[in-house]
Amino acid sequence: MRSTIPKKYRLTDKEIENFILWPHVFGHFLGYDLLDEIHTRWIKYLWLSKTSRALQAHRKSYKTTAVLIVGTIWWLTFCNPEETILFLRKSWDQAAEIVKAVKNQFESEAVRYLYKYYDVDNIRGGTWRDSAISLATKEKVTPEPNVGCLGVGGNITGSDPTKIFADDIVTIKDRVSRAERENTKLFVKELINIETVEGVTCYTGTPWHKDDAWSIIPKPEKYPVGKIEIQGFTPEKKLDYKKRLGTSLYAANYELKHIADEDQLFSEPIYGKWPDRFKRINAWCDPSYEGKATTAMAMIGIDIHDKAWVRGWVWWKHVDQCYNLMVQEMKIFKCGTFYIETNADKGYSKKDMAEKWTPTIGRNETTNKHIKIVSFLRQNWKELTFADDCQPEFINQIMDYSEDAELKDAPDATASLIREMRIGKKSILERF
């Protein structure tokens, strides 16, 4: 049997023993070369546990790759081929991506030839699709496949997996929406109903808000940035992420802590379903011409009851790469006049957009950004209702805003549009 295996996949008994002892070494065999001994610790900490456990590790630490992809293949291959595993993520599509990654690995040459050592020529069982798989080595007949998936809010009734892995079920949405936080917490509480008597639920991810679902999940082992060495995660990378995310988001996702928010200018937004009819609706673009800033577009509509509704977008792109994106959104929401700042490019972006969106007006901005944001956006904050499907990154820029913030584009665009449309209370700037 071994003579028919290509040389690069021929393994000694000692090598296979190392795979069992050191799952990260098995990860290297699968092609995940950046895994290290810490990833073996994480895999064993969760997969060998007899009780529910949780682990928080900073972004870019390869926790999902290690625990869910490598860990699943390692467990089903070397430990328990009868296990029934359910992956939970924020959405079904996100959970299915993990199942698909596991499925693709089982279809790879490396794993197929590994199974030949166990005289298994075809690893595929009765269920074999991107969202669920069963291995030929699974002998016990159960309604559940070896690996399945579900999104938060999905129907968990009737499912009895022996292991549940809830990965990144707390996301940016939980940070900006109280309703989303409560929905996620309710789902976590319901998980106990589908745990088998000897089954366990393991949670992995990062925190987003002091009152999110991590507040009711078993206390996690924490691996913030700096506690572990991750290949390629240089000091320069850390500084770049901090600048791009802002202080509070960086603290949550990389330092795994929540910083005090007494100094926040903006409280949690009011959300609602975007109306079907408006008296008028306009948009404002704060354009970016370099990589250190985002192109932001704010849109405000005044409904038939004179209530102001807000939605917006940010893109890490030069403004000329956003023209079609902005036009697309304005068409969807039947926007009227579009305003664009002209300070930095002497009106060229205004000219370009006018060819794509006829009611385009350029505005030369002279007001200090901080004064403008405080005077118009903060003063009218409680008068604004944000679309419940507003882009979270746009809202995060506003909620993270301070005078020293790196990213000011979303709050600046919104404040400018409030001023332009003369919404709400009069600003102190209009007294002079």
What are the tens digits of pLDDT across the range 215-230? 999 999 999 988 888 8
308-315 β-sheet, strand order: 271-272, 384-387, 308-315, 295-302, 280-286, 338-341, 360-363
Give the pLDDT confidence of 336-362 residue by residue, as tens digits: 999 999 887 777 899 999 999 999 999
Phi, psi (degrees; rounded to nearest 5) at 265? -80, -30
Could you tell me which CATH number the domain at 2-253 has?
3.40.50.300
Among left, alpha and beta (phi > 0; psi -120 to 50; other), residue 261 is alpha
Domain boundaries, the chain: 2-253, 276-426
Look up residue 432 and give its two tokens: 């002079």
Position 431 pLDDT exceeds 50: no
pLDDT, mean over the chain: 89
Largest CA distance in the chain: 88
Confidence of residue 380 (pLDDT cuts 50, 70, 90): very high
Instruction: Give kind and range of the element (H or E) at residue 152.
Output: none
Report how far residue 327's alpha carbon sits from residue 356's, in angstroms, rounded to the nearest whole number.
Answer: 7
Beta carbons of 52 and 166 less than 8 angstroms apart: no
Look up residue 410 and give its two tokens: 């979303």
- How do beta strands 384-387 and 271-272 pair? parallel
Report how far residue 386's alpha carbon sits from residue 172's, in angstroms, rounded to the nearest whole number.
Answer: 16
Q: If you average pLDDT over residues 384-396, what whole number do you get?
A: 91
Phi, psi (degrees; rounded to nearest 5) at 170? -105, 120
Report how far residue 78's alpha carbon sits from residue 20's, in angstroms, rounded to the nearest whole number.
Answer: 7
- How do beta strands 163-167 and 124-129 pair? unpaired
What's this model's pTM, rounded to 2 decimal places? 0.75
Q: Which residues of 94-116 are buried (b: 16+ CB within 10 A; e: fewer)?
A: bbbbbbebbbebbeeeebbbbbe
pLDDT of residue 11: 86
- Rounded CA Rg of the chain: 26
163-167 β-sheet, strand order: 124-129, 132-135, 147-151, 85-89, 163-167, 200-205, 53-57, 221-223
Give the pLDDT confidence of 243-276 residue by residue, as tens digits: 777 777 788 888 888 765 555 788 889 999 999 9
Report how far residue 343's alpha carbon sits from residue 139's, in angstroms, rounded to the nearest whole number.
Answer: 69
Beta carbons of 362 and 287 less than 8 angstroms apart: no
Beta carbons of 57 and 226 less than 8 angstroms apart: no
Fold of 276-426: Nucleotidyltransferase; domain 5 (3.30.420)
Q: One fold for both 2-253 and 276-426?
A: no
Report how far residue 417's alpha carbon sits from residue 292's, in angstroms, rounded to the nearest whole number.
Answer: 23
Position 429 pLDDT exceeds 50: no
